[in-house]
């Protein structure tokens, strides 16, 4: 079993991996990481010891990029489009989920108001 030591010498609270380690984790070459960085698909950070590193989110993103590029045959420009479109869909899904949550809350509030009005009406009818 291979071990991939995280680099903890970072000025960022997330764990970052040196390119060599990130490449092994994502099963890509370091040159592929450089290509992705040039295309602004991933963003590296300079770590305290001076080497560039990628966070785990970017390593996961590299895996997705590799899949789209190698397995699906998309060039990096198309991969960028797919990833941006995917992010937009996820953002819209979060917004939709939030709207559904607010609608359920409003529905509960309205049902409570209806129940209160029914109780008041029953009291008025019983009082007559």
Tens of pLDDT along the chain (128 residues) come to 456 555 444 455 678 899 999 999 999 999 999 999 999 999 998 887 788 899 999 999 999 999 999 999 999 999 999 999 999 999 999 999 999 999 999 999 999 999 999 999 999 998 76
CATH of region 1-73 = 1.10.1660
Torsions phi, psi of 2, nearest 5?
A: -80, 145
Quote the pLDDT of residue 3.
61
Q: Where are the alpha helices (DSSP H) in the chain?
A: 19-26, 30-38, 56-66, 76-127
CA distance 53 to 19: 6
The structural domains of the chain, with segments of one domain joined by +, span 1-73
To the question of pTM greater than 0.75 for the whole model, the response is no
């Amino acid at each position: 079993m291979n071990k991939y030591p995280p680099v903890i010498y970072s000025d960022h609270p997330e764990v970052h991996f040196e390119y060599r380690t990130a490449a092994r984790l994502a099963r890509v070459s370091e040159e592929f990481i450089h290509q992705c960085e040039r295309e602004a698909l991933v963003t590296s950070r300079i770590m305290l010891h001076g080497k560039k590193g990628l966070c785990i989110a970017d390593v996961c993103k590299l895996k997705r990029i590799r899949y789209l590029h190698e397995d699906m045959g998309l060039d990096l420009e198309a991969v960028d489009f797919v990833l941006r479109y995917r992010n937009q869909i996820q953002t819209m899904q979060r917004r939709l989920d939030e709207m559904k949550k607010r609608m359920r809350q409003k529905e509960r509030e309205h049902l409570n108001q209806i129940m209160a009005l029914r109780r008041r009406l029953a009291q008025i009818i019983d009082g007559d």
